[in-house]
Homo-oligomer: A and B are copies of this chain.
Amino acid sequence: MFTAEHAIRRYRETRRKITPQRIAVFRALEGNTSHPSAEDLFESVARSVPGISRATVYNTLETLRELGEVREYHFQADFRQFDPNTAPHHHCLCTDCGRVHDVHGGDFGTVRLPAGRLPFRADSFSVTFYGHCDRCGGAKSSRRGRVAAHSHSSHM
């Protein structure tokens, strides 16, 4: 689990300096399940560290990614999103508002490459569901909360 303390330890281990700017980015990521973009994090961090540069936020995110402390996703075309939760989990992307929810805790079925001779060695995978979130449920399904409980399966 990502914590500012853990990130600081990793930075020390790898002979990197601990700066107020970096700590602020770590804190902004701690427990953050919103899959923020670099700009999101910049805006959030700039409140506690006025004058921080975007470059610093970008650089810190890149380092954390190299260290394997955050994972980068490309849910949308226009910006990258970061997730301090590096454990494998699925995501739901609302195609209306762009919000991304984690999926965890249930029976999600299995995902595997066919045992056949596919010319590829897979290290990991990611599953993204596209649809509509709670708040965007849509005009026709204004009966919130029920609509949500939807199951989706496939056997491609």
Contacts and interface: CB of A to CB of B under 8 A. Distances in A.
Contact of A72 (B77, B109, B122, B149): B77
A80 to B, nearest CB: 5
Contacts of A108: 111-114, 155-156
Interface stretch (A27-35, A44-52, A126-134): A126-134
Given A103-B114, A154-B111, A130 B141 contact: no
A110 B105 CA distance: 16
Copies of this chain present in the complex amount to: 2
A122 B33 CA distance: 19
A144 to B, nearest CB: 8
A106 B125 CA distance: 17
Contacts of A89: 156
Contacts of A54: none
Contacts of A8: none
30 contacts: A74-B74, A74-B76, A88-B154, A88-B156, A89-B156, A94-B120, A107-B112, A107-B114, A108-B112, A108-B113, A108-B155, A108-B156, A109-B112, A109-B155, A111-B111, A112-B152, A113-B150, A113-B152, A114-B151, A116-B149, A118-B149, A119-B145, A120-B133, A121-B147, A122-B152, A123-B131, A124-B129, A124-B130, A126-B127, A127-B127
